[in-house]
Amino acid sequence: MRLGLDPGDARIGVARSDPSGFLATPVETVKRGRGDLARIVEILRDITEESDVLEVVVGLPRSLSGGEGPAAAKVRAWAAQLAGAVDPVRVRLADERLTTVTAEAMLRDRNVPGGAKRRQVIDQAAAVVILQHVLDTERTSGAAPGELVERTP
């Protein structure tokens, strides 16, 4: 089982895979800021009671050209803190280009109304897109995309 995260400036979308690693589904939206790491650890602990968690996949915001800017640097630093908090579970960074756009389109197709409620759902949907991409890529190629994160205490 894997946990997928879409960290933004205001919220963190959370998704999880089924135990077989075939399908990603939304879990919740965590408010970004004080206590966000603790809440992620709590979610991970709750999920671990059901099944072993292999890793946490964190979306890494890259530009369309593949470069990294200030947002990617913030996510890398946060992911390193997360890796220390969830040790021994691995944390992997995965490219999240266009995931929010894809998630928005999915919600529009399902007639999910706009507004504050949609903004919370969009973060979960983006986390699902990130995690599902990783699951599909690993299933077809035999290797998980992205890079493992070094832990910081």
pLDDT tens-digit readout, 18-31: 998 999 999 999 99
What does pTM read for this prediction? Answer: 0.86
Residue 135 has a pLDDT of: 95
Q: What is the spatial distance between Cα 3 and Cα 16, in angstroms, rounded to a whole number?
A: 4
pLDDT tens-digit readout, 48-105: 877 788 899 999 998 777 777 888 999 999 999 999 999 899 999 998 865 565 656 5
Domain-located, residue 153: no
Domain-located, residue 122: yes
The number of domains in the chain is: 1
Domain-located, residue 23: yes
Domain-located, residue 100: yes
Residue 62: which CATH number? Answer: 3.30.420.140
Domain that holds residue 56: 2-148
Domain-located, residue 36: yes
Q: What is the 3-state secondary structure (H, E, C) of 101-147?
A: HHHHHHHHHCCCCCCHHHHHHHHHHHHHHHHHHHHHHHHHHCCCCCE
Which of the residue ranges 40-49, 81-90, 109-118 would you say has the lowest mean pLDDT?
109-118
Q: What is the spatial distance between Cα 13 and Cα 126, in angstroms, rounded to a whole number?
A: 7
